[in-house]
Structure formats: structure tokens, C-alpha cells
Structure 1
Amino acid sequence: MQTIKFEEIESNILNQDNAELKQKGRNYIVEAAIPLLNRASQMKYFQSKLSTQEILNLLRKEIEQFEEVAEENGATYETVKAARYCLCTLLDEFAAKNGWATQEWSAHSLLVTFHNETWGGEQFFQLLDRIKTEPQKNINLIELMYYCLVLGYMGKYQVLNNGKVTVENIKKDLEKIIREYKGTTSNNLLKDSVDKKGLFIAKGKRIPLWSILVSGLAVAVLTHTFLNWKLAQQTNNVNTRINALQVQQNLPISNERVQLLAPLLKNEIDNKLIQVYEIPGKSTITILGDELFASGSDKIQDRFYPVLATVSQALNNVDGQITVSGYTDDRPISSATYPSNWHLSQGRADAVKAILLNYIRDESRVRSEGKGSDNPVVANNSPENRAKNRRVEITVYIQPGSKQLATTTGVNVQN
């Protein structure tokens, strides 16, 4: 099986000479992809009785069939490989969001199998932006990517503010392009192939209640902001004392190290994006705050969205409560947004938790907490050490009986 990385796909599709084959408005790329689009829709609305391996084998076979049919009908090699990339990331995302993805899926996803990559959420939209500059040459691929969005694919926008609005605007833009170059979209094709099989569930709309209560809400927000400012320092002191309390953990003291999450996060560890430390009963993932956030902010850097998505999928493979803890250094801060170190640490923990909840199947497992400057990993006596203390830790308290991938002794999986 030939694996092609995204950079080669992007280069090939942009440099291909031949325009896409068009015959009376038909799109053979979309037609060949119908079985896979159906599978994506099934993931949204149904549970599968097949094992993870059986599902992956079925999808791999259907992806190979898609390639054969599309090429037989005249689609270019470059377009077929680009379309395969889009379909793989669509199916992987839907499997993760809808409870089909297990530990086995995370390790052997479709994108890993066919393209040796673990995340396509950013590259999908990067490719779309590039091929839109030459729509006539790439119109069939554009239409396929449009239908991925119609089915609900979100990619990187799943965890960005106003992501749904942005994707809706992208879809409207694509509709205009398709109508301009093809006269119409293949809506009937997709509708006949998917809707009539009962795979879509219509959802009603309702009038937003907030539009009626907006004035009262504004007053409430202003009141809350004023009170929060007045009580900030008192709150910070109380939380500092609470966090300083050492709670006795009923965990055995042992030098044994386990590997539950580390094998699933090997790529992120090797690239020094995260650190993972695991002992019996507890696994902790650490991300340095200066990497994850802009200075003094709780806005997560774009390049860490796929990292947190991968972490979330790994957490789905172990049982236990998850605590997201935010930490700062010892330098006091005070601003309208963050009146104290504790407020900043809580905001950062909440931001990470919000992304995890996009992927964690059981939301009740996850809680967040601000720890302020408590529990420094090193002394706050230099800029370098303070940077190490500004961090977010994701800790999962493993329930007895969770499957372990391997057990070693005295290994701290960090970089």
C-alpha cells in the first residue's frame, strides 16, 4: 500500500496539468466516494456491531475500491490521492466524535494507514484554500470537500471560537464556486444516495431566547465583573490555601512505571510537545504554558489544537476521572480579565478542558481547576525555571482493571 504525505499531495494537485474530467455535470469523484460518505453518516447516527478491526478493514477496502473506480472513470492520480486524504480525515474524525474510535483505531487510523499522518484537521482546509485559486481545474475535488463539510466535518474549526459559523461561510463560498463552474451542485446525487437510506435525522430550529433577555444579561455581566474584581484578592488567597492542603492519596507507593497513554502519544512526546509521567493508578500529561498559550492569555496556540485532539482520543482508551490543572509562576498579575494568578490558571485549565470535551465521550469524567503558583516543579529563581512552572497538567486517575499496554520499571516517559 502506497502512503503519501500531505506535502506531496498538495504539491502534486497544484502542479497537475490536466483539468478534471467533466461530463454533463457529473462528478465521478463524488460518485465513487458515495459508499464512504455513507459510512461517515452511519457513524453519526448508529452504533456498529462490528469490532474495531473489522470496521477498519471494511473502510480500507472501500477506500481502495474508491480509488479504483475514480481512476477508471478518468480522475487524475493527483486528484484521487488528494480525495483519499480528505475521506480518511473525515472518517477518522467521525469515528473519534461518535464513539467508534478505540485504542486500536487511534494507533491504526485511516490517515496513518494511507498517509502516515495522525491529524488532517488543518491540512484539509489548507488544501481547500489552495485549490480554490484554480477552481476550474479542481472543481470535482472542491465539490467532494464541500460534501464532507455538508456531512458535518469540522477539522480544526471544531475547537476554534465561532468554528461552526466559519464552516458555514466556507460552505456558502463553495456553493457559489460550484454553481459558477458546473451550473449546479450534485445535491440530488448525494441526497438520493444517503437521505433515502434513512441515515440523516432532521433537527428543528427554535427562536433564541437570549435575544429577548439581552438587556438583563448585560446588567448581570457588569454586576458580576464588578463583584469579581472586588473579591479577586480574597478569592485568590482562599484558593491558594485550599490548594496548599495536601490530600492523602490511597495509592500504593511504587517505583513501577506503567505505559497506558505514552505509546498512544509517542509522536507528541518525540516532538517534545508534551511530557508523560505514569505510575500505577495515575497518568499525567504536562504541556508547558509558554508553548500552549500566548503570554498572559488563555487563548490556545493554533498548533496545539491537533495535539489536544490526539490527547483526548488517547484518554478515551482508559477509564478514570480526568483533572485539568492550570499553573502559573510566582510573579503576581492583576488585570481586568485576570485579577490574580489563580484566575489566569483557572482560565487556562478551562480552555484546555473545553477542547477535551469536544472529543471525550463521557464529559462527566473531566473537571478543571486553577492552582495558581502552587506546586512548582522547580524553584522560581530564574526565567527558565519560571517557564517550567507555567504549565497545564492533564491527570487521569486510572480505575483498577484498565488495560495496560506495557509495564516497565523506573521509566519516566519525558523529553
Structure 2
Amino acid sequence: MADDGNKTIIMPNPGGRRRPAPGNGFGQSQPDNIHPAPGEQSPLGHQPSHLTPSSQQHPAAHHVHDLTFGSLPNTYLANANDILVFVGNLNCVEPMADVTSIRREVESLFTGFESNLTALGYPADKIVLARYMLCCLVDELVLNTPWGSQSSWSQQTLLSKYHNETWGGEKFFLILDKLQANLSQNIALIELAYVCLATGFCGKYRLAKDEGAGLFAVQQKLARILEQYYPQADTELSPQWRGIGRGNEASKISTSPWLWASILLLILSATYLFLFFDLRKQTEPVYQMLAKVGWQDIIDQELMNYNQPTSADTGKTPINLSALLRADINAQKVMLGEQDGFAVIHLVHPALFASGSTVPAAESLPSTSAIAQLLTEFQGRLLIVGHTDSTGKAESNWVISLKRANAVKDWLAGVNPQPGRYIARGVADTQPLKPNDSAENRQLNRRVDIVLLAKGAN
């Protein structure tokens, strides 16, 4: 696994931790010499000049911020602060730096690390484990730098000097597994191991072919363990997140009158649309009821004029509609039908009415001469019924269908003016000839029916 300085690292937030029991590695008094006063030299070993990038030496180098663990309650991390700072600045070390001098200064950091923990009374075996993990971290990251891999560091690593071992990539994780067997006593060392992994140590996972999945799983497991021991406190995301004050001036939201006018207009428009469609929904049943008013009375009155009110009497009205309207039938302008025993002329030309229109196309109406002859030979009343499809536009389908019926009624009155003979009704889309599931069927349903209120027409 290549060393990627930009990878995401999960770091438990030390803020708000509860103090663990004494003896497990944190919560104890920090040595006075961990943070020396300005101008004093740290007994942990001064930060080597080789380890800090210089703006003169690296004009193009990115500025590196030192990691700071000295303020943490974990004493292992607090005393390993300078070692971890060194690891964080490895990529900024001059390729031609004096590796021998660097090695000498790093060893002095390890000496200070051990001596401080010993002075604090930490068990020797735990100090050895902490040193082992830090040696693994430093050795691996140094040997993965261009200058470190070509230096004498590879001949004698820190691990070989302090622990007489050449590689700790496997043993590091064995130690970590054993530490997890007793979390309460080893949580400080577990956190140190987590920081080593987060800083870049990979060990046996560096050459793994799982693209880092195994190492990531280990880090995730440790993060969950640390979260259990370090409850997160609600902290501010930034120490300076508040804006700069403006004296005694109160913060005011300046808004343009046009903004308020636009908001008001939007509210009024939404209210209008809601009320419009709600009113339209409520008026549909009213239109349907009004369309039925008087319908049955008309039918009953006409049926009473004949001896057989429930069947067609073809002998009393010698009008052959099929012959009279043959040309219009062939031109697909009309269809003949029957309703309640009365002959019905369906005006069904596809272009008779456009969708939403109430004005019939003159070329789609039946022959004026044929209709004039019909109105002369047939002296009864005519019921003109308007229909729509199911795709209503702005006006209600009930209004549109009634307007279509009145338009045909006016056309008939122009052919044969007889006031009171023509009755107009609108039934919207309640009586379709075909289902409104296609454009062709919807065209057929946009029609006007002329009902001859007398028996015998055929």
C-alpha cells in the first residue's frame, strides 16, 4: 500500500473524555517538562533541525503543521509527541540530509520517551510495548522515503537496535490483538496503536492486495473501541465561527419591497389556483344535476304521445334517415343511433370540435339541404345534446358541452327557425361513445347528438 498523505484518517475526538482509572496510561499528572517555557530546551530532545522544512531550502514545499499530542490525557501519546511530529514531517526532510545525525536525534527522542514514562511509574513491560509500536512506525515510514531507503537506516533499524528484530509488521498486530483482551487496562496503548495506524503505519497490510480494506477494517474496529471509552462532547466546529461584530449595530435583514411583493404575489396565486380547482371540483356534481333536470320529463312526455312508449314505431313517421343523410354518413360526418326509442343523429366528424373548443367547423356539419328537408318533414321537437372528451381545459366540461349544444342549436335554428322547438343540454364526458383511452376515441366523443323526439325515424 503506497503511503498516501491525503487519505482519510478517523481520529477520535479527545475533547470531553471521562478520566479513566489510574494506572492504565492516562489521566495521570503530566511531567512539568513536557511543555517547557519559551526559550527552554525540552528534555524530550529538541526537535532536530533536519526534521523541520525550511522555506529557503524548500521554496515550493507545503507548510507542515506539527501534530500536537502533549495536551492529551493519554500519557503515552503526550510523551511520544516529538516522535510523532518527526513522522509527520518525514516527507519534508532534505534528500541529502545527514541521516546519521537524524538517527542520533531520533534515538534521543526515544530515550526521553522511555525515561519520562519510567519516572512516572509506568510498568516496564508496557513501556516496551509502546516503544515497539513506535519503532515499527518510524522504521516503516523512514524506509519508505527516497532518502531513507538508500541510507544506513536499513542496515540497523530502530526495531533491531531496541528489540533485536528486523521487521514488526506482523507482530504489531499480534500485540494489538492481545491488548484488546483487556480494554480497561490497555486502552491507552490501543489508542497509541490507532494513532500509529492513522499516521501511516501499514505493516503486513502494506503489500496486501485488498486495496487497504483489511487495514481500514482494523482502524474502524479501534475507532469504535475508542469511542466507547471517550464519549464525544459537543464542541464548536471552529474556535472562531462567530462573525466579526459591528459595534452596537443590531443585525438586520435588509429586504427589498419587491421581494415582499413577489412573495405576496406567489401566495395569492397559489391561493387562487387552489380555490379555482377546488370550486371546479365542487361544481361538477352541480352541473351534472342541472343537466338531468327536465330530461326525464321530456322523455316521459314524448313517450305518452305514442301507443307503444317503450319501442320504436316505424310506421308513424315515414322518414328514412339513412336515405336522407346517406351522403353525410358516407363522409363520416354523422352516425345514426337510438336512445330511449328515439332516433339519434350523432355529429361525429373528427374535425367538428377541437379539444376545448365550442365552435363547430362548418365543413364538418351535415349537408344544410338534407337537414332542412329533415326539419320540414319532421315536425316534432329536437333535443340537442353536447358531449366532450375527458381532457377538460380551463372551462368545465359541463360548460363546454352545453356551449357546443347551443352552437348546433343556433345552426339548426338558422336552417329552420322555430322558437321552442330545439332544446339544448350538456352532459360533459358522462356519455362517451368510446373509452377515452386514445386520440381517435376522444375525437369521436367530442360530438353533438340530435335526438328526434318522435317515434318512427330510422
Please give the range of the TM-score, normalised by the shorter of the 2 chains. Answer: 0.3 to 0.5
Higher helix share: 1
| Rg (Cα) greater in structure | 2
Structure with the larger RCO, 1 or 2 (CA within 8 Å, 6+ apart): 1
Structure 2 length normalisation: TM-score?
A: 0.35
Structure 1 length normalisation: TM-score?
A: 0.38
